[in-house]
Amino acid sequence: MAKRRSNGVIVITGASSGIGQATAEAFARQGARLVLAARDGVALETVAARCRAGGAADAIAVATDVTDAAAVKALAERARSWGGRIDVWVSNVGVGAVGRYHETPMEAHAQVIRANLIGHMNDAHVAVPIFLEQEDGVFVNMISLGGFAAAPFAAAYSASKFGLRGFGEALRAELADHPDIHVCDVYPAFIDTPGIRHGANYVGKKLSAPPPVYDARKVARAVVRLADHPRASTVVGAVAHLVRLGHAVAPDLSGRIMARFMEEYFRRARRAPVTDGNLFGPPAVAGGIDGGLRASAGSRALAGAAAVAGAVALSAVGVAIALAIARRNAGR
- Residue 257 Cα to chain centre, angstroms: 23
Return all residues near 181 (Cβ < 8 A) that are at least 6 apart: 128, 131, 132, 135, 136, 137, 138, 139, 175
104, 97 Cβ separation under 8 angstroms: yes
Cα–Cα distance measured from residue 224 to residue 24, given in angstroms and rounded to the nearest whole number = 9
Indicate the pLDDT class of residue 284, thresholds 50, 70 and 90. confident
pTM of the entire predicted model: 0.88
pLDDT digits (tens, 9 = 90+) for 153-188: 999 999 999 999 999 999 999 999 999 999 999 999
> Which pLDDT does position 91 carry in this prediction?
98
CA distance 117 to 120: 5
Chain centroid to Cα 36, Å, comes to 16
Residues 6 or more apart in contact with residue 128 via CB below 8 angstroms:
139, 171, 175, 181
The dihedral sign for the CA sequence 235, 304, 159, 88 = negative
Which residue type does 325 have?
A: I
DSSP states of 190-225 as a string?
A: SEESTHHHHSEE-S-B----PSP-EEHHHHHHHHHH
Binning pLDDT at 50, 70 and 90, where does residue 331 land? low
Q: What is the pLDDT of residue 244?
A: 77
* Closest residue by Cα to residue 26 from 226, 208, 174, 183: 226
What is the C-alpha separation between 247 and 106, in angstroms, rounded?
27
Percent of the chain at pLDDT exceeding 70: 88
- The larger pLDDT score, comparing residue 41 to residue 210, is at 41
Q: Indicate if the pLDDT at residue 320 is higher than 50.
A: no
- CB-neighbour burial class of residue 238 (10 A; exposed 0-12, middle 13-18, buried 19+): exposed
Closest CA to 145 of 14, 221, 241: 241
Separation CA 106–CA 238 (nearest Å): 34
In angstroms, rounded to a whole number, what is the distance separating the alpha carbons of residues 63 and 75? 9
Q: What is the pLDDT of residue 297?
A: 41
Residue 328 vs residue 216, higher pLDDT: 216
- The answer, yes or no, to whether residue 325 has pLDDT greater than 80, is no
Residues 116-146 pLDDT 10s: 999 999 999 999 999 999 999 999 999 999 8
Average pLDDT over residues 256-271: 86
Beta bridge partners of residue 214, listed in sequence order: 191
Question: What residues act catalytically?
Answer: 157
